[in-house]
Structures are given as structure tokens and as C-alpha cells.
A = this chain, B = another copy of it.
Amino acid sequence: MTDHKAILSAFLDRVWNQGEVEAVELYIADQYTIFHDPGDPWHGQTLTRSGFADRLVKSRGPFPDQTFSVQTMLEKDHQVAANWTWKATQKGDIPGFPASGKIITMSGFTLYSFEKERLCGHWQVCDRLGVFQQLQAR
């Protein structure tokens, strides 16, 4: 039986925390659909593996030391829900906010979908209002 939780933990660590672009092919299916992720530039899109790698590089760019810390995982069939906190230093520019060196925190909750042993999509909400408030603060 596929251990979805262990795969998800390894994916978050290697791909999102460490930024291993070459690990995308291990964890991402041929197509990956961002069913729901309001505020994410790829919201609603279905990406190829190379499209996913592009999203990874662009998303991590301004926040190269980012770390996702998962709180709880709940599994059902081919899906895993995970709530998490995120912490990163803003080392690069984002539209409207030049590199600040600020330490930014965020929380979010994601429902990941699996196709066999690879991830094929997610439905996610993040606290983007909290991020804007931190970026705007003096």
C-alpha cells in the first residue's frame, strides 16, 4: 500500500524546502492541477512536470530559505490534507515589494491528490492577507 503521508513529507522537504528541481519527476505526475489556490499565479491551471518545475523555481526565487512545517496530516483514499506553517526570508523582489530581508511567516491548509505514488494536484488556502500585512509593515 502506498504510504501517501511519507511521500508527501519527502516531497515537501526535498522539493519545496530544499528546492531540488530534479526531484520534481519523482514526486509529480505527468499532469498536476491546481484546482484552487486563490492568489497563486497558477490558480486553476493544469501544469506539465516542467511547468511545475518552472512554478517551483519562480515561487521559491524571492524566498530561497523557505521552510514548510506540517502540523497534522489526515488521509482518505488517494488524498491527504495537511495544515502547515511557512517561514522564509524575503531575499528577492516581489511585485510592489523589493527585497527586504524580512522574515515572513504564513499558514495554510492543503488537500493533495495522488495518482498512484505521485502527486497530481492540490486545493489550497493560504493566509495571503497576513503576508501582505508583514510586507507592508515598516
Residues of chain A touching chain B, judged by Cβ–Cβ distance below 8 Å, are 36, 38-39, 71-72, 74-76, 79, 81, 83, 107-111, 123-130, 132
Contacts and interface: CB of A to CB of B under 8 A. Distances in A.
A53 to B, nearest CB: 26
Number of this chain's copies in the assembly equals: 2
29 contacts: A36-B107, A38-B107, A38-B127, A38-B130, A39-B127, A39-B129, A39-B130, A72-B79, A72-B111, A72-B123, A74-B74, A74-B75, A74-B79, A74-B81, A81-B111, A83-B111, A83-B123, A107-B125, A108-B109, A108-B125, A109-B109, A109-B110, A109-B125, A125-B125, A125-B126, A127-B128, A128-B129, A129-B129, A129-B132
Closest 3 CB pairs of A and B: A109-B109, A129-B129, A74-B74
Main secondary structure of the interface of A (DSSP, over half): strand
A74 B73 CA distance: 10
A104 to B, nearest CB: 13
Contacts of A74: 74-76, 79, 81, 111
Q: Which of A72, A75, A129 has the most CB of B within 10 A?
A: A129
A107 B126 CA distance: 10
